[in-house]
Amino acid sequence: MNIPGSITTLLIGILLTVTSIWYGQNHGLMPVEASEEAVLIDGLFNTMMTIGTGLFLIVQGTLIYSLFKFRRRPGDDTDGPYIEGNIPLEILWTSIPAVIVLIIAVYSFEVYNSIGGLNPMDHSVAHGHSTQQIANMPGAAIAATLPEETTAPQPENLDNATGDRSPAVEEAVTQDPATAAVRDQSLPQRKDSSAMGSTAPRIGPTPGNVGKPPDYVINATGLQFAWLFTYPDTGIVAGELHVPVGKEILLNISANDVLHAFWVPEYRLKQDAIPGKQTELRFTPSKVGEYPVICAELCGAYHGVMKTKVIAQTQDDFDAWLKEQQVASNPNDLKQTVAVNPANQAPDEFLAPFIQDLGIDRAIVQQLHSQHAHSSAS
Amino acid sequence: MTQTLQEEATNTPAHGATEGKREWLKYISFSTDHKVIGIQYLVTSFIFYLVGGFLATLVRTELATPQSDFVSPDLYNGLFTVHATVMIFLWIVPAATGAFGNYLIPLLIGARDMAFPKLNAVAFWMIPPGGILLMSSFFFGAPGSGWTSYPPLSLVYNKVGEAIWILSVLILGTSSILGAVNFIVTILKMRAPGMVLNSMPLFCWAMLAASCLILLGTPVLAGALILLGFDLIVGTAFFNPTGGGDPVVYQHMFWFYSHPAVYIMILPVFGLISEILPVHSRKPIFGYKAIAYSSFAISFLGLIVWAHHMFTSGTPPWLRMFFMINTMIIAVPTGIKVFSWLATIWGGKLRLNSAMLFAMGFISMFVIGGISGVMVAAVPFDIHVHDTYFIVAHLHYVLFGGSVFGLYAGIYHWFPKMSGRMMNETLGRVHFILTLVGFNLCFLPMHKLGLEGMNRRIAEYDPKFATLNLVCSIGAYLLAVSTFPFIFNALWSIFKGEKAPSNPWGGLTFEWQTTSPPPHENFAIDPMLLIAPYEYGTEKAKEIIQAGPFLATAAATEA
């Protein structure tokens, strides 16, 4: 075997390490980090990129070196050396990857915990079990109590007088009239079973915020092919997501028809919207700006145009926007909206107020008509 | 060595001279000869590869510009759905298990045929109807819900196409199960005297591991698809949320098969690479047992990682961690294989022919897919890249850079054995370089696209991604062009190629000790294991290589 001298090996090793570390930090592959979670996730990615670059260079380097160094010389028909294996070497290249993988796993676990992935029991806040805390916050409409023993999914009938709704059968988030108006209420809702310990899919509060209510609760509803954002207790329905920077946002996500996924690349966060199920995403925007909200789960022919924006504003701008929208949405209008079941409307009618915001043109929405009617029928 | 090869060419019995005229007919008949079935699988699946490639070219044409301007969005969804289904169920699975498994396993273990020849023929003859059925869906509105067919979309969108898709995949899955039973029994029960499990060629180990996965996984897919079919056709609500069904359950059932399916597609190719590298490096495989057992480690771990496809879907947090760690551990047995292959090459006398170039290209490309694979296993990172072009890049590095490069290496390596003719080396190298360049041009930029925010399965995208997408599309066209030298080479070589000696590469496994192509029932005498399969560099190896096709000629005295 042609083992390079120890000095050469050392030099190659140093060069390899330096290159990997440099590239791992300077790959420039990611968009801006616009949420507090993004910074943590990028740190993990950079580490994996560093290790990956090193491994890439070792393997490709070995292959290319062998290609030149070990190619058969013309006229040489003999066999190579008889080497069947080398147990210490094999142990080495089994244990080193095992250790590396372990490190990445522990690091991923840490990051996952830090962005709030691991708080299965912090369930009460999101779904309004601990009412006292939530009642004080802006989105107080979600605070209606939800007894834990109610599990039987029953479609609620919104045509009843709003005051008459039995809290027992409702998901807390849909008690907001504006949300109820945009969500398809005919879907039976699945809830978490606290006895089984399984919880709604979510990225929850970061460890520092466990037990605290989020600063803002916003409900996101995915439907072919648009996102609708409702701000509980304000009556605001928007096609774009407005959030204040530096505040923790809880997004309650669901879908009316098929699977969608809420994704903001600049936030590095994604969560599927599942019809008949609430999913949650809790995050803190950190940069003022406009970023794309993308549907990442195939949802039909116009999946590619199901896009909108998240508009991260300063607290003042956000408050101003909130106020402006509240004035715009007349409470009388709201009552009417509640009575309307979106499933009975053609999507172009239903979406008409939001079309401007959605950034898709009316022609497309009209094209969708037949398809949406189809899906509601079945 | 070359001299001895020429000598023996004259020894080769003139078999097939009388039946030669009608011989091609057996390739379109219900033949029970494993070699015929293997070639039937290979040719059929390669034709479907061209079909799938054509669909991919249409997809890339649509994506060459940010607007949706080439096909309708509905047809676009149909194109990528059928592209994926064809490539998986009609190209890689049948080519890796069906074609190479059937052709090679009896030859490698010294058997005269597979354990159940008729079952084998039945398994093959389910492929063409299954494939044609799938293609027919384009006349009724092709299935547009992706090859994953997640409900509720699959229950409401292009329903006729979806029903055809379900039926077709059920047929192809059944074929795959029948094949797997056959491989397991053949490998366990029909090995030549003297061949214990630990002296089997590594391809047999890989096929054994892959077949176990097929047997455990495919029935679950069938279950999922049958329930999906009920939801679709008779309106049950297993997965339909409007009736209280849970769409996430479908995802669990689907991925319980479809993640192992990745290993069904790559393990046999690992096996091929383990056969090809030692022959052309003229060195024993490095760490036989480690490679053999790591196949089983991969296959076991492969069964308990499925929910890593659902990190942004309906999985509770602790489950995400469990599947993340399992997934990452797979990197260890896979790493063992890669490092063992590198050590096999290291210090050898590499014959850089087309088979070897593709095998080395396989390692090179597969490692990129492996690295990105560990990355996407990390839950926080996967939450960002799930359902983006980063995943598209990753899966193509594994399935194209991995499986397809490996299959090409296999074709170049065993073509002389299958056809009795050599392939043209120059065209082979042109093919390799075009494939390597086209492949990387097409798929490398996709990593960046995905990280920057381009989601997958879309017909139109943000104009800021236009440049890189154009590069990808150019790469895809180059990739399409790269198949031409190969097709020309294969067709020309079958008819006009230089006659192949029985052992053109100086291999030690049984198939190289019989004629090219092997006679009916493969061997004239019952083979006995005289030498472990990778003893290159020993005196005994030299003797056996020089002995010629002694297993097929009655005059042989060696046995």
Residue B68 contacts A where some CB pair is shorter than 8 Å? yes
Contact B153 A266 (CB under 8 A): no
Q: Which residues of B touch A292 (CB under 8 A)?
A: 453, 462
Strand order in the sheet with A236-238: A202-203, A279-283, A249-255, A216-223, A226-231, A236-238
Q: How far apart are CA B241 and CA B247, in angstroms?
A: 7
Interface test with B, best of A297, A302, A310, A374 (most B CBs within 10 A): A297
Report the Cα B45 to chain-centroid distance in Å.
10
Q: How far apart are CA B283 and CA B99, in angstroms?
A: 27
**What residue has token string 């797997």?**
B180
Residue A346, SS3? coil
pLDDT at A276: 86
The pLDDT of residue A126 is above 90? no
Q: Which residues of B touch A90 (CB under 8 A)?
A: 287, 290, 336, 339-340
Alpha-helical segments (H) within A270-346: 315-328, 331-339
The band of A174, judged by pLDDT with boundaries at 50, 70 and 90, is low
Task: Please compute, for residue B36, the number of CA atoms within 13 A of its CA located in the half-sphere on the CB side.
Answer: 19
Amino acid at B19: E
Over its C-alpha atoms, chain B yields an Rg (Å, rounded) of 23
pLDDT at A8: 87
Evaluate whether A266 touches A291 at the Cβ level (below 8 Å).
Answer: yes
Residue B540 contacts A where some CB pair is shorter than 8 Å? no
Other residues' Cβ atoms within 10 Å of the Cβ of residue B173: 23
**What residue has token string 């989601």?**
B455
Percent of chain A with pLDDT over 70: 67
Contact B346 A101 (CB under 8 A): no
Buried b (16+ CB within 10 A) or exposed e, B109-125: bbbbbbbbbebbbbbbb
Q: Which residues of A touch B542 (CB under 8 A)?
A: 79
The band of A329, judged by pLDDT with boundaries at 50, 70 and 90, is low
The token duo for B314 is 């309906």
Interface test with B, best of A29, A277, A303 (most B CBs within 10 A): A303
What is the 8-class DSSP label of residue A150? -
Contact A275 B460 (CB under 8 A): no
pLDDT at A339: 42
Other residues' Cβ atoms within 10 Å of the Cβ of residue A308: 22
pLDDT at A200: 55
The pLDDT of residue B105 is above 50? yes
Ordered domains of chain B (ranges, CATH): 2-11+31-546 (1.20.210.10)
Three-point CA angle B122, B128, B132, nearest 5°: 145
Q: How far is A288 from chain B (nearest CA, A)?
A: 18
Q: Which residues of B touch A300 (CB under 8 A)?
A: 77, 144, 153, 157
Q: Among A128-137, B160-169, B412-421, B476-485, which is the least confidently predicted range?
A: A128-137
What is the 8-class DSSP label of residue B453? T
Q: Counting Cβ atoms within 10 Å, is residue A68 exposed (0-12), middle (13-18) or buried (19+)?
A: exposed
pLDDT at B549: 85
Q: What are phi and psi of A249, to 5 degrees?
A: -110, 135
Average of pLDDT values for A343-353? Answer: 54
SS3 assignment for B331-367: HHHHHHHHHHHHHHHCCCCECCCHHHHHHHHHHHHHH
SS3 assignment for B124-193: HHCHHHHHHHHHHHHHCCCCCCCCCCCCCHHHHCCHHHHHHHHHHHHHHHHHHHHHHHHHHHHHHHCCCC
Q: Which residues of A touch B339 (CB under 8 A)?
A: 90, 93
The band of A2, judged by pLDDT with boundaries at 50, 70 and 90, is low
Evaluate whether B372 touches B397 at the Cβ level (below 8 Å).
Answer: yes
Residue B71 contacts A where some CB pair is shorter than 8 Å? no
Q: How far apart are CA A66 and CA B354, in angstroms?
A: 16
Residue A35, SS3? strand
Task: Please compute, for residue B46, the number of CA atoms within 13 A of its CA located in the half-sphere on the CB side.
Answer: 17
Q: How far is B519 from chain A (nearest CA, A)?
A: 29
pLDDT at B319: 83
Taking all residues of chain A, what is their mean pLDDT, rounded to a whole number? Answer: 75
Taking all residues of chain B, what is their mean pLDDT, rounded to a whole number? Answer: 91
Three-point CA angle B55, B59, B64, nearest 5°: 145
Q: Which residues of A touch B156 (CB under 8 A)?
A: 257-258, 371, 374-375, 378
pLDDT at B557: 46
Which of A59, A44, A48 is CA-nearest to residue A23?
A: A48
Residue A53, SS3? helix
Find which of A200-214, B37-51, B524-538 is predicted with most confidence, using mean pLDDT: B37-51
Amino acid at A93: W
pLDDT at A355: 54
Three-point CA angle B14, A77, B493, nearest 5°: 40
pLDDT at A338: 44
The pLDDT of residue B65 is above 60? yes
Q: How far apart are CA A52 and CA A171, in angstroms?
A: 44
pLDDT: which is higher, A372 or B28: B28
Q: Which residues of B touch A24 (CB under 8 A)?
A: none
Question: What are the Cα distances from residue B27, in Å, to B30, B33, B40, B56, B145?
Answer: 8, 10, 6, 29, 36
Q: How far is B112 from chain A (nearest CA, A)?
A: 30
What is the 8-class DSSP label of residue A121? T
The pLDDT of residue A198 is above 60? no
pLDDT at A192: 57
The pLDDT of residue A145 is above 60? no
Q: Counting Cβ atoms within 10 Å, is residue B437 exposed (0-12), middle (13-18) or buried (19+)?
A: middle
Contact A375 B152 (CB under 8 A): yes
What is the 8-class DSSP label of residue A295? E
Residue B521 contacts A where some CB pair is shorter than 8 Å? no
Of B283, B317, B461, the CB nearest to A304: B461
Q: Which residue of A has its CA nearest to B375?
A: A48
The pLDDT of residue B365 is above 80? yes
Average of pLDDT values for A34-39? Answer: 92
pLDDT at A295: 94
Q: Under the phi-then-psi rule, with left for phi > 0, alpha for psi from -120 to 50, and beta for the rest, what region is B408?
A: alpha
The shares of helix, strand and coil residues in chain A, as percent rounded to the nearest 5, are: 45, 15, 35
Which of A205, A172, A101, A16 is CA-nearest to residue B326?
A: A101
The pLDDT of residue A189 is above 50? yes
Evaluate whether A130 touches A124 at the Cβ level (below 8 Å).
Answer: yes
pLDDT in tens, B297-344: 999 999 999 999 998 886 777 888 899 999 999 999 999 999 999 999
Q: Which residues of A touch B250 (CB under 8 A)?
A: none
DSSP for B227-240, written as a single string = HHHHHHHT---SS-
**What residue has token string 């299965």?**
A120
**What residue has token string 């850089």?**
B352
Query: Which uninterrupted H or E stretch holds A367?
Result: helix A362-377
Contact B153 A259 (CB under 8 A): yes
Of A78, A199, A302, the CB nearest to B349: A78
Contact B329 A2 (CB under 8 A): no
Contact B347 A81 (CB under 8 A): yes
Which of A301, A347, A273, A361 is CA-nearest to residue B460?
A: A301
The pLDDT of residue A122 is above 90? no
Contact A298 B335 (CB under 8 A): no
Average of pLDDT values for B50-76? Answer: 94
Q: Which residues of B touch A104 (CB under 8 A)?
A: 328, 374, 378
Average of pLDDT values for A29-39? Answer: 93
Residues with Cβ within 8 Å of A334's Cβ and at least 6 positions away in sequence, in order, are A177, A178, A181, A235
Q: Which residues of A touch B347 (CB under 8 A)?
A: 1-2, 70, 80-81, 83
Average of pLDDT values for A330-345? Answer: 48
Q: Among A95-99, B17-21, B31-35, B418-422, which is the least confidently predicted range?
A: B17-21
Average of pLDDT values for A34-61? Answer: 94
Q: How many residues does chain A have?
A: 378
A-proximal residues of B, 127-166, CB under 8 Å: 144-146, 150, 152-153, 155-157
The pLDDT of residue A5 is above 90? no
Q: How far apart are CA A27 and CA A11, in angstroms?
A: 23
Strand order in the sheet with A269-273: A241-244, A307-313, A289-295, A260-264, A269-273
Contact B451 A29 (CB under 8 A): yes
Evaluate whether B227 touches B239 at the Cβ level (below 8 Å).
Answer: yes
The domain limits of chain A are 6-67+90-114, 129-377
Q: How far is A320 from chain B (nearest CA, A)?
A: 30
Q: Which residue of A has its CA nearest to B361?
A: A63
DSSP for B305-321, written as a single string = -GGGGGTTSS--HHHHH
Q: Domain spanning A129-377: which superfamily?
A: Cupredoxins -  blue copper proteins (2.60.40.420)
Q: Among A315-329, B426-440, B541-555, which is the least confidently predicted range?
A: B541-555
Average of pLDDT values for A283-292? Answer: 94
Evaluate whether B259 touches B306 at the Cβ level (below 8 Å).
Answer: yes
pLDDT: which is higher, A292 or A359: A292
The pLDDT of residue B26 is above 50? yes
pLDDT at A4: 60
Q: What is the ipTM of this complex?
A: 0.90
Q: How many Cβ pairs closer than 8 A exist between chain A and B?
A: 314
pLDDT: which is higher, A198 or B91: B91
Q: Which residue of B has its CA nearest to A97?
A: B332
Q: How far apart are CA A48 and CA A44, in angstroms?
A: 6
Which of B185, B192, B233 is CA-nearest to residue B207?
A: B185
Of B146, B317, B339, the CB nearest to A93: B339
Interface test with A, best of B5, B150, B242 (most A CBs within 10 A): B242
Q: Which residues of B touch A115 (CB under 8 A)?
A: 380
Residue B67 contacts A where some CB pair is shorter than 8 Å? no
The band of B253, judged by pLDDT with boundaries at 50, 70 and 90, is very high
Q: Which residue of B has its CA nearest to A200?
A: B316
The band of A340, judged by pLDDT with boundaries at 50, 70 and 90, is very low
Contact A85 B290 (CB under 8 A): yes
Q: Which residues of A touch B287 (CB under 8 A)?
A: 84-86, 90
Q: How far apart are CA B24 and CA A27, in angstroms?
A: 55
The token duo for A318 is 């956000």
Three-point CA angle B225, B227, B232, nearest 5°: 90
pLDDT at A178: 75
The band of A3, judged by pLDDT with boundaries at 50, 70 and 90, is low
Residue B249 contacts A where some CB pair is shorter than 8 Å? no
Q: Among A5-19, A222-236, A351-365, which is the least confidently predicted range?
A: A351-365
Average of pLDDT values for B482-493? Answer: 95
Average of pLDDT values for B76-85? Answer: 95
pLDDT at A77: 84
Residue B452 contacts A where some CB pair is shorter than 8 Å? yes
Residue B77 contacts A where some CB pair is shorter than 8 Å? yes
Q: How far is B181 from chain A (nearest CA, A)?
A: 32
Which of B44, B10, B47, B46 is CA-nearest to residue B27?
A: B44
pLDDT at A179: 77
Evaluate whether A33 touches A42 at the Cβ level (below 8 Å).
Answer: yes
Contact A294 B349 (CB under 8 A): no
pLDDT at B3: 44
Q: Counting Cβ atoms within 10 Å, is residue B450 exposed (0-12), middle (13-18) or buried (19+)?
A: buried
Question: What are the Cα distances from residue B158, in Å, to B87, B141, B153, B291, B488?
Answer: 21, 6, 9, 45, 38
pLDDT in tens, B166-210: 999 999 999 999 999 999 999 999 999 989 999 999 999 999 999
pLDDT at A348: 56
Q: How far apart are CA A18 and CA A26, in angstroms?
A: 12
